[in-house]
Amino acid sequence: MARAWLPRQGLVAYLLVALLLLPQLRAEVEVGKDYTLEPGDVVGIKVFQEPDLDRELRVSQEGDLFLPLIGKIEAKGRTLAEVEQAVREAYDRDFLVNPQITLTVLKYQVRTVNVLGSVNSPQAVEYPPEQRLTLIDAISRAGGFSRYADRRRVRLTRTLADGQIENIVVNVDELMSGVAKDPMILRKDDVIFVPEIRL
């Protein structure tokens, strides 16, 4: 009886782990299709039963993909699902009947934020695009605050889509204590400057 019971326990444990991981796996799939393409990303394009049209392409600095027959497709600022639909419609319009198109990201453009000033290891902090990076995370990866850092006047500088520069002063003490609810999610190329305490 004991021999039959132990494997069953193992199976139950395995199924419980699988059930716990299922929502996470589903979320990763959703994040993949919702991912917004940027210049430098490399995508794989597969056209079902049309191997001559399969390609590995890099999104140009202007934010475009160039495909056989259909030419330029705007990719920058659009999700993977949106670009996939645009490619499908372009092929369906003039060249293929009900084409089955699959787009995948093969290589992500490196994302960085710069952490400067009174931190122990000022640097450009890299992070994968599927991961959210908060202000506190970035400072931690730069070695944390130095001894004389003014944590109440941390400056976040961000370039907006229209080219305008936005400066935000953040009280990181409030973020760390939970008083401030906004976790300050960073964007690519943000610059964080930690000043020294004024004596």
Band (pLDDT 50/70/90 cuts) for residue 4 is very low
Chain segment 152-182, per-residue pLDDT in tens: 999 999 998 788 999 999 999 988 887 777 7
Residue 8 domain flag: no
Alpha carbons within 13 A on the beta-carbon side of 121: 8
Range of the domain at 84: 42-107
- The total number of structural domains in the chain stands at 2
Chain segment 40-59, per-residue pLDDT in tens: 889 999 999 999 999 999 99
Query: Can you tell me the distance from the alpha carbon of 13 to that of 31, in angstroms, rounded to the nearest whole number?
Result: 28
> Is 188 a residue whose pLDDT tops 90?
no
Tell the residue number behind the tokens 């049209």, with chain if given. 53
Q: Are 189 and 129 in contact (CB under 8 A)?
A: no
Residue 187 domain flag: yes
Structure-block tokens of residue 129: 């695009």
- Looking at residue 132, its pLDDT comes to 83
> Do 50 and 90 fall into the same domain?
yes
> Quick one: 172 exposed, middle or buried, by C-beta within 10 A (0-12, 13-18, 19+)?
buried
> Do 50 and 101 fall into the same domain?
yes
Q: pTM for this one? A: 0.59
